[in-house]
């Protein structure tokens, strides 16, 4: 878990490769799903990580592991246009608006992707100090789902316009 925290803190992509898959008894059809759920449950806060089961003896899924690593790298370097990002953010805000705080309503004006080596987004609004972590996670999860940021940490900042 400490290694995974370091990976997240340094904003690196991750693919979990489980070796020796040829030695596992595959008596039922769902063995891969069961083991994947078991691995993801052990890595609980890090839930959006690809898990690949390989065997170097039979050369099973070795190329798939490399393809998955390349895909995670592409996800990490993906740039989203500001217009497309703003359409999505406005849709998210319309579906689930930020909760009001002390009677003040938060309005998200626009969003942009910052020029970093990993996906970082800045959302400009009128009262960024009142945005709480659950809403940040909501925006992060929606961005991850809609733009396929599998295996990559995402940072979302709220700034004053």
Does this model's pTM top 0.85? Answer: no
Q: What is the pLDDT of residues 41-90, one digit of tens each?
A: 887 767 788 989 988 888 888 899 999 999 999 999 999 999 999 999 99
Last residue of a domain, one of 77, 93, 128: 77
100 in the same domain as 40:
no
Beta bridge partners of 156: 121
Last residue of a domain, one of 16, 50, 77: 77
155 in the same domain as 86:
yes
Last residue of a domain, one of 56, 77, 98: 77
Look at the block and give the residue holding tokens 């500001």. Answer: 82
73 in the same domain as 86:
no
- Here the CATH number for the domain that contains residue 149 is 3.30.300.20
98 in the same domain as 51:
no
HEC string of 64-107 equals: HHHHHHHHHHHHHHCCCCHHHHHHHHHHHHHHCCCCCECCECCC
Q: What is the pLDDT of residues 94-150, one digit of tens each?
A: 999 998 888 888 899 999 999 988 899 999 999 889 889 999 999 998 998 899 888
Residue 17: domain span: 2-77
Q: Give Cβ neighbours of residue 127 (< 8 Å, ≥ 6 apart).
A: 101, 104, 106, 160
Q: How many domains does the chain have?
A: 2
30 in the same domain as 66:
yes
55 in the same domain as 101:
no
32 in the same domain as 18:
yes
C-beta atoms surrounding 143 within 10 Å = 22
Q: What is the pLDDT of residues 15-48, one digit of tens each?
A: 999 888 878 777 677 778 888 888 888 877 677 8
Helix (H, G, I), strand (E, B) or coil at 11: coil
């Amino acid at each position: 878990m400490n290694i995974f925290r370091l990976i997240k803190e340094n904003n690196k992509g991750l693919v979990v490769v489980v070796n020796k898959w040829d030695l596992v008894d595959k008596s039922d059809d769902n063995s891969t799903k069961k083991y994947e759920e078991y691995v993801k449950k052990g890595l609980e806060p890090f839930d959006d990580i690809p898990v690949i089961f390989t065997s170097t003896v039979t050369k099973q899924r070795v190329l798939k592991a490399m393809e998955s690593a390349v895909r995670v790298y592409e996800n990490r370097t993906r740039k989203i246009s500001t217009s497309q990002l703003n359409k999505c953010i406005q849709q998210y805000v319309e579906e689930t608006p930020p909760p009001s705080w002390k009677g003040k309503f938060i309005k998200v004006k626009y969003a942009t992707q910052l020029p970093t080596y990993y996906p970082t987004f800045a959302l400009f609004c009128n009262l960024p100090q009142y945005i709480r972590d659950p809403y940040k996670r909501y925006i992060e999860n929606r961005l991850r789902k809609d733009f396929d940021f599998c295996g990559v940490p995402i940072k979302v900042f709220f700034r004053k316009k």
